[in-house]
Amino acid sequence: MKDKKHSIFKSEELILKKAEEVIHSNIYNQNPLFEQYCFLVGQFAKLLKEVEKIVKISDGQQEYLHRIQDDLQQEIENRVKAEEKLRYLAAIDTLTGAYNRGMGLSMLDNLIKITKRSGEVFSICYLDINDLKFVNDNYGHTEGDDLLVLLCNSIKEEIREYDILCRLGGDEFLIIFPKCTSKNVEAIIDRIQKKINIQNEKNQNPYSLSFSYGILQVDSQKEPSVDALIELVDKKMYAHKQSFKKRRPV
């Protein structure tokens, strides 16, 4: 504040200093106008002091307003972050980090509309973990949760950045593949299975992670609903699960 005052009133203070030096020198004290001169210098000094005081108050108010503005801006940023976190938590399955059912099906509905306009195809894959209930009942839900996380991590490492993984509930998952044929999805699922098989060998658990799946390719010639697509791909997954049970009964 002191530096700012000097920068603003430097010339006025210099004038006042010289005027006071004239008064104290007694050179002009016999001049008939000397008394009036002293009065004017005193008034100038008083006025300068008042102006400096006003400026100081004004600067203080400005600093206070700046602090309020900064605090308000910080509060807004905190609220925005909190809202973003709430939206994230409302859309994400906290255990696996996948989208939850509501968000996943909403994104599928949007993709159906986009595909209808663009004429491009997309594919979906419905996955169901095999024997998760057996693991939960015999080894605990923590072990079962570990299988869910392992599956999701393996999927995330193999799908593209813009593919969508959502947990429909329990041990059921849906992967949405924009601009992707069922043949390409088969290749991705094969890589996921191989990755999980390697992890099963490393873990050496008394149980292993595996999943059944169904794949469905969707084109713009059809106008399917979300429910209709889920029903179709679920049937494909169920057929695959039945073949799994025949190969390895529990």
Domain co-membership, 235 together with 134: yes
Domain co-membership, 65 together with 149: no
Work out how many domains the chain is built from and give that number: 2
| Distance (Å, whole) CA 172 – CA 182 | 19
| Distance (Å, whole) CA 37 – CA 184 | 98
Residues of the chain with pLDDT > 70, as a percent, come to 92
Question: Where a domain ends, among 40, 69, 90?
Answer: 90
Q: Is residue 113 part of a domain?
A: yes
| Distance (Å, whole) CA 108 – CA 176 | 7
CATH at residue 113: 3.30.70.270
| Distance (Å, whole) CA 120 – CA 111 | 10
Instruction: Give the model confidence (pLDDT) of 207-224 as tens digits.
Output: 999 999 999 999 877 668
- The β-bridge partners of 92 are 99
Domain co-membership, 9 together with 118: no
Contact between 226 and 110 under an 8 Å Cβ cutoff? The reply is: no
Domain of residue 41: give its range: 2-90
| Cα–Cα nearest to 176, from 234, 148, 216, 222 | 216
Domain co-membership, 128 together with 234: yes
Domain co-membership, 76 together with 117: no
**pLDDT at residue number 243:** 80
Q: Is residue 152 part of a domain?
A: yes
**pLDDT at residue number 50:** 84
Question: Where a domain ends, among 38, 55, 90?
Answer: 90
Contact between 244 and 130 under an 8 Å Cβ cutoff? The reply is: yes
How far are the Cα atoms of 45, 184, 217, 231 from residue 214, in angstroms, in the given order?
A: 91, 13, 10, 11
- Span of 89-93, 109-113, 208-212 with lowest mean pLDDT: 89-93
